[in-house]
Amino acid sequence: MTSKMPDCATARARVVIESVSPVVDGGRFPAKRVVGDTIDIAADIFADGHDELAAVVRYREPGRRAWLEIPMSLLTNDRWHATFEAVVPGVHVFSVEAWVDPYKSWATKLAKRVAAGQDTTVDLQIGARLLKEAADRAKAKDAMRLRRLATTLHPKDGSRTAAETTAQSEETIALASKYADRTHSSVSPGSYAITVDRARAGFSAWYEMFPRSCSPVQGQHGTFRDCESRLSYIAEMGFDVLYLPPIHPIGVTARKGKNNAVKCTRGDPGTPWAIGSAEGGHKSINPLLGTLEDFQSLVRQSREYGIEVALDIALQCSPDHPYVKQHPDWFRRRPDGTIQYAENPPKKYQDIYPLEFDNDDWQAMWLELRSIFEYWVDAGVRVFRVDNPHTKPFAFWEWLISSLKEKHPDLIFLAEAFTRPKVMYRLAKLGFTQSYTYFTWRREKWELEQYLTELTQSDASEFFRPNFWPNTPDILMDYLQEGGRPAFQSRLVLASTLSGNYGVYGPAFELCVNVPREKGSEEYLNSEKYELKHWNLDDSRSIKGLLAQMNSIRRSHPALHRTNNVRFQHVDNNQLIAYSKHDALSGDLVLTIVNMDYRYAQSGWIDLDFDDLPIQDNTVLRVHDLLSGATYEWRGRRNYVALDPQVMPAHVFEVLMPGSADTLSGDDAPVRRHP
């Protein structure tokens, strides 16, 4: 509180603007959207007294100097909103401006006087003056029109009825309000930002693959050319992002052997995350994989299949990395003079040196690390998976990502940060496009419902864009170990329908590899991180067909292109989880039901609630299972479901509301009635 008298502008700005959205941390960070999204701007707007108000959203697209304005409309209880479509990637800036609308306020009072049968002669004179003042601010044609309207408010025959009608017409009010006096308008405190990413940032299917395991010859190191031969297989499954672990030279010193053995044996290839050798560092390619030209060929060939190559950037070094000799101050040394290798007790990574960001040469180091990304951007990469970003300074990532996206707004960064929630959220605020999540470990129904509610209905939904992974090279969760094929199937359906972005580590995923290194471990036995693999892609146990089916379903149904539209449905069996997704623009409605029990068949009654789509007791629905092709006829809100995990642990239903039966996919499928 202050006793200081405000300046004139502040004193005469009567309108209050509060609770602007979408705003992250008071405007410190941008909210996030993707191209094609409808951006909804809202704010609480009110003033003293009973005057009518007007408000606009002022926004500027990236690369443009001109500000655009769109009028806001009142929703309810002083909450106003406006929408515009995101059409270009980059940072959009917006603010809210509001003012008292003198003519509309006058017209509202006039209507009350007319309804009460009162004399309006003086009121019409006031209205005429307001129209003339608006004319002075208007453009040529509108100015002439406003002056003509002003004369009609001085009726020569003494009859005020026609003048009152003209004064209150929507056309007159709109024209006068268009040129209202905004000298004493109020503006939201500062401008706010929205980062608009390209569509793939919000909807993507990732497939992780080790290039060195792509050779058709068992025991032979794979190459980028071998990867090209694998592209048709990946495309047939419907993936649009091919994520490669680090492709750089691998260190020899302290190289790990099979199953993370401290000592390697002859022929052990080492882990790709131990980056750097005499052959180069982060801007070099492991010669066993091929050349830069070979890599660029893979990038081009992938695009022919509609696939983007994502590259793993791990900002760490093997003891043989050129940085170790060139920049010894970039690493932390122990009292005995040796460099501290990476540790995450009880795990030890003797083959990896972490970079020491708290050093006197930090500026040169930051610039060099950014140049790594720039190098691969120049090589054609637009998608990066970043390893362990939570172990590097927040300020570094904010600077690096923003500076890179200034020139390349189409870049996508996936944060591999399995850490505390607030740290994960901070990285997302700083600029990471997508984020790994706790989905990998959420195996119970209540856990998934609680976690998705947090991600989609809290403030995190404005900036945290989840990417769901059932498995990774580092994580073989216990559910998959225990449940085998049915567990892999159910986790696939959950990941691909709950989140707009999801990914799998293959071919281990489609082949349902689920043997841990030892009991209680999330590490794979004979992990691909430490040895070459020769995968039998035609194994009869493969669920590649289901992967292809789910990715096809995702592409065909706009309701599945987003994460934040999930709505959980009540089922009276805790082993069954059900949720719907609705796309209002297309009318697409998808209902997914998954049996969480990989051992036994489960059944129950589902109570449907589809928000603004009412269902009465006599409403007849047709639900078409996009997995089996079967069509069922349901009646009313409460319906029966049963799922056997040994057959298929999930339904993915296209829901047909009454009156839209002729649009059903596979409409000629037989109709079955559930009890």
CA atoms of 120 and 108, how far apart (whole Å): 13
User: Is the CB of residue 241 less than 8 Å from the CB of residue 200?
Assistant: yes
Q: What is the DSSP string of 201-235?
A: GTSEEEEE--GGG--SSTTSPP-HHHHHHHHHHHH
Positive or negative, the Cα torsion across 260, 266, 272, 275? positive
Instruction: Please state, in angstroms and rounded to a whole number, the distance separating the CA atoms of residues 367 and 403.
Output: 11
Instruction: Evaluate whether 655 touches 613 at the Cβ level (below 8 Å).
Output: no
* 107 within 8 A of 126, measured Cβ to Cβ: no
Asked if residue 365 lies in contact with residue 356, where contact means CB atoms within 8 angstroms, the answer is no
Cβ burial of 156 (10 Å; 0-12, 13-18, 19+) is exposed
394 neighbors 419 (Cβ within 8 angstroms): no
Active-site residue, selected from the candidate residues 387, 510, 588, 625: 387
- Among residues 200, 202, 224, which one has the least CA distance to residue 213? 224
Q: Is 597 a catalytic residue?
A: no
Contact 270, 250 (CB under 8 A): yes
The CA distances from residue 234 to 309, 539, 577, 642, in Å, are 12, 15, 29, 32
Question: How far apart are alpha carbons 161 and 155 in whole angstroms?
Answer: 9
Please state, in angstroms and rounded to a whole number, the distance separating the CA atoms of residues 409 and 30.
14
**CA-CA-CA-CA dihedral for 181, 183, 186, 189, to nearest 10:** 140
Give the DSSP per-residue string, 256-305: --GGG-SS--TT----TTSB-BTTBSTTS--TTT--HHHHHHHHHHHHHT
- Local structure of 60: helix, strand or coil: strand
Tell me the two tokens of residue 64.
Answer: 């443009």
Q: Are 586 and 557 in contact (CB under 8 A)?
A: no
Annotation marks residue 368 as catalytic: no
Q: Which one of 52, 197, 226, 416 is the catalytic residue?
A: 416
d(CA 462, CA 21): 9
Show which residues are catalytic: 387, 416
